[in-house]
Amino acid sequence: MGIKTSQEYLGSLRELKPCVYIAGEKIDNVVDHPLFQTSLKEMSKFYGWQTDPEKREDFTYFSPLIKETVGFWNHLRQSPEELVKLVEVIKKHNARHFCTMCMGIGLSVLWAITYDIDEARGTEYHKRFRRFFEVLQREDLRYCLGVMDPKGDRSMPPSRQKDPDLHLRIVDRNEKGITVNGAKIHTSNAPLMHYFLAMPCRALAEDDRDYAVSFALPIDAPGLSFITRPAPGPLAPAKYENPVSRTIGFVESLSVFDNVFVPWEDVFMCGEWEFTEQLMNYFSPYVRLVKGTCTSARIDILAGAAALAARCNGVEKAGHIRSKITDMMVASEIGWGCVLGSIQQSTMHPSGIPIPDVGISNAGLYNSRTRFTQFMGTIMEIAGGIVTTMPIESEYTNEDLRPIIDKYLKGKAEIPTEERMRILYLIQELTASRWSGYLMSSVICAGGTPETNRVDVARNYDLEDKIRNVRLICEHGC
């Protein structure tokens, strides 16, 4: 089949019975539950893009693996050109829709590492992973990526934690498969997916062998449960307020594994701790590539919002406003340039996929995300204090109050007040709402923190080479 419609996606979720807790209760059905509606709208929209005549060119691909059309989220990019298409699609659609769920890039990471392990050890992880990949493609299924462990005391590796379950681990192996215990944390949208894809979150040492585990598991596997936090969006429908969080925002889960059995055919790493550093070397550039693209696109939204608010306020030509918006443009272009540069400098992995440059992708994301957080303040300054003091929607839609608000909240005479209200509500949502906290955290923490970017840049930067050159300049001149 290869492509599901939104309705088929919702139907497929009804057939699954994951163990889900939300708002303090265990629920039977995510599809009809009010606290899942925002995230379901977003997921359904993504499925819908695959059949939308205006979008399907960006969101469907021919898969050489199954020789059928497959969706954006399950396609394996096998050349730098395909990576360029991937980031162009994310850049274009995130600048309009905020999110394309691009973090699902984990499939490429596991594709490469399972190949490496098989080459070195004669195992059959890659063959198994390919089979899993083909199932995802054929049935157009989605998975959540469970990388991050709860981690406990961050200064200590998994095997030295007081509680051994603070990182997901193998507790038993037999001829049929493995049993895992522990948890993953911050798992986005897990109950709305078909599979849970687990992999380690850090490089491990020999004592941590049991923590070197990767596998796929049906989302309703016995022993797997999700303690889920609702998406940060509004529950009541709105006409003016919350233009983003009405449909954008993932539920987030603490995913608990209580002695969960995984059959061998779905196990992609089992104890090969020596390969976890290399796993991180693939994870880092892939995740930073897509996250860098997404952040550059979100800066574009901030730039557009700042410019529109300034126009409504009649200050679009003021020198300091233009200068601040130009800073946004510069940051967006640097981020985008690093994305493209990291693809241009990619190397081909023997499994047939490109691995983007680690240093450039991390440097780009570091710059974009730190600038983004500054721009959140800048955009508030440009829009003015009205962002947090303006009348709420129920007053704006009250027919007695509306003319008064239209009169006193007018900016530039030629621009209808409603247009100004709409951009102010958007900026309020971006910078001063429950959702803006989620946005900040997703820019700063999701995909690894800025410090991880700095570490990965420093690790891959040949400083000794620069010292050698400087010595030569000192000794011989230029």
Ligand X SMILES: Cc1cc2nc3c(=O)[nH]c(=O)nc-3n(C[C@H](O)[C@H](O)[C@H](O)COP(=O)(O)OP(=O)(O)OC[C@H]3O[C@@H](n4cnc5c(N)ncnc54)[C@H](O)[C@@H]3O)c2cc1C
Residue 151 contacts ligand X per CB under 6 A: yes
What is the spatial distance between Cα 181 and Cα 259, in angstroms, rounded to a whole number?
5
369 binds ligand X (CB under 6 A): no
Q: For residues 411 and 447, which CB has a smaller minimum distance to ligand X in the complex?
A: 447
Integer Cα distance of 71 and 4 in angstroms: 9
Q: Which stretch binds ligand X (CB under 6 A): 10-18, 115-123, 148-156, 371-379?
A: 148-156
Residues 6 or more apart in contact with residue 250 via CB below 8 angstroms = 39, 42, 188, 189, 231
Nearer CB in complex with ligand X: 273/435: 435
Minimum CB distance to ligand X smaller for 158 or for 234: 158
Q: Closest distance between ligand X and the C-beta of residue 88, in Å? A: 23
- CB of 197 or CB of 355, closer to ligand X: 197
Using the rule CB under 6 A, give the single segment among 16-24, 113-121, 157-165, 184-192 that binds ligand X: 184-192
Q: Is residue 148 a contact residue for ligand X (CB under 6 A)?
A: yes
198 lies in the site for ligand X, by CB under 6 A: no
Is residue 48 within 8 Å of residue 4, measured between CB atoms?
A: no
Using CB under 6 A as the binding rule, whether residue 94 contacts ligand X is answered as: no
Residue 147 contacts ligand X per CB under 6 A: yes
Distances (CA, A) of 178 to 174, 215, 343: 6, 10, 37
| Cα–Cα distance for residue pair 17/173, rounded to 1 Å | 26
- Minimal distance, residue 186 CB to ligand X, in Å: 4
Q: Is 186 in the site for ligand X (CB under 6 A)?
A: yes
Which one-letter amino acid corresponds to residue 350? P
User: In the complex with ligand X, which residue's Cβ is closer, 136 or 424?
Assistant: 136
Q: Where are the beta strands (DSSP E) in 129-220?
A: 143-146, 169-173, 177-188, 195-198, 213-218
Question: Rg of the chain over CA atoms, in angstroms?
Answer: 24
Which strand ranges, in their side-by-side order, compose the sheet holding 224-229?
Answer: 25-27, 19-22, 224-229, 252-263, 177-188, 169-173
The secondary structure of residue 43, as a DSSP letter, is: H
Check binding of 106 to ligand X (CB under 6 A).
no
Instruction: Check binding of 145 to ligand X (CB under 6 A).
Output: yes
445 in contact with ligand X (CB under 6 A): yes
Note whether 446 binds ligand X by CB under 6 A: yes
Number of residues that bind ligand X (CB under 6 A): 19
Interaction between residue 146 and ligand X (CB under 6 A)? yes
Q: DSSP 3-state helix, strand, coil percentages of the chain (rounded to 5)?
A: 55, 15, 30
Of the candidate residues 78, 108, 187, 295, the single one contacting ligand X (CB under 6 A)? 187
Least distance in Å: CB of 135 to ligand X?
21
**Can you read off the two tokens belonging to residue 204?**
């491990």
If binding is defined by CB under 6 A, does position 449 make contact with ligand X?
yes
User: Cβ closer to ligand X: 42 or 396?
Assistant: 42
Q: Is residue 447 close enough to count as binding ligand X by CB under 6 A?
A: yes
Q: Under the criterion CB under 6 A, does residue 284 sit at the interface with ligand X?
A: no
Question: Applying CB under 6 A, which of residues 2, 354, 356, 448 lies at the interface with ligand X?
Answer: 448
Long-range (24+ apart) CB contacts under 8 A made by 321-329 are: 321/382, 324/378, 324/381, 324/382, 325/382, 327/371, 327/375, 327/378, 328/299, 328/302, 328/303, 328/371, 328/375, 328/378, 329/303
Residue 19: CB minimum distance to ligand X, A: 18
User: How many C-alpha atoms does 76 have within 13 Å on its Cβ side?
Assistant: 24
Binding window for ligand X (CB under 6 A); candidates: 42-50, 87-95, 439-447, 463-471: 439-447
Candidate ranges 119-127, 183-191, 257-265, 385-393; the one touching ligand X (CB under 6 A): 183-191
Residue among 43, 104, 47 at smallest CA distance from 77 = 104
Alpha carbon distance 452, 235 (integer Å):
35
Select 54 or 451, whichever has its Cβ closest to ligand X. 451
Residue ranges in contact with ligand X by CB under 6 A: 144-148, 151, 154-155, 186-188, 441-442, 445-449, 451
